[in-house]
Amino acid sequence: MTERQTLKTRAGDIILDARKAAFLPSSQTLLVADMHLEKGSYLREVGRSVLPAFDTQDTIARLRDLADAYNPARIIALGDSFHDIHADQRLSPEASSQLRAIHSENCKLIWILGNHDPDIPSAVSGERQDHVEIDGFLLTHHPHDHAAGINICGHYHPKAKIGSRAGSVTAPCFAISEDRIIMPSFGTFTGGLYVSDPAFVDVMPDLGAVSLTYHDRLFTIRYETQEQTY
């Protein structure tokens, strides 16, 4: 069974899911970030990668599983949902149909625009927004300050490494501070940036904890030194 943890914040509860998603119970909102749909086909066409371009199907299937588990009123994708502005030319009719099925009368699909996808393909259903504010949570792609509430964003693909007696584990993670949560990247072919990287530290110098997502489990630890978590 996939592990979930409830994080208490000044804006309200947020449920962290080991499947690299989050849920806001007060508004019945499911959150994912940085899906980078069609990255596999982009790498094959532009970078001549030999990787099979099955990432979009896998990412959408995992999103549908989450939708079935939470039955949310809305799903908000926090930017960079598509890997590039030409992704619609490579998106299969089946993938488009699956995304349209997620967006229904009972579940609204909202796309926050990111730097990879300033435009969402017209064949894809759902609202397009620069940001969304719900019950004290400011939902964005890039980090933005929100004095009265909590900013939840993506973009940085946070990952961390923790040590144990059996060795070390590196995995995507939720990066957590008092006023911001940076989501792990949800996409199948997305990489990560260590939370100790200077580029990450610049936007989250007050990082207080990381919650690693590893084999359907969450490992939440205090972030104290780069020697312990990096």
> Sorting pLDDT into bands at 50, 70 and 90, what band is 224?
low
Q: Mean pLDDT for the chain?
A: 88
pTM of this prediction exceeds 0.85: yes
For residue 163, how far is the Cα from the chain centroid? 24
Each residue of 64-73: pLDDT tens digit? 999 999 999 9
Domains identified in the chain and CATH numbers: 4-222 (3.60.21)
Each residue of 129-141: pLDDT tens digit? 999 999 999 999 9
Q: How many CB atoms lie within 10 A of CB 28?
A: 14
Quick one: what percent of the chain has pLDDT higher than 70?
A: 90
> 151: which 2 tokens?
């900013």
3-state SS, residue 142: coil
| Mean pLDDT across 176-195 | 94
133 near 156, Cβ under 8 Å?
no
Report pLDDT for 5.
95
Task: Please state, in angstroms and rounded to a whole number, the distance separating the CA atoms of residues 30 and 18.
Answer: 13
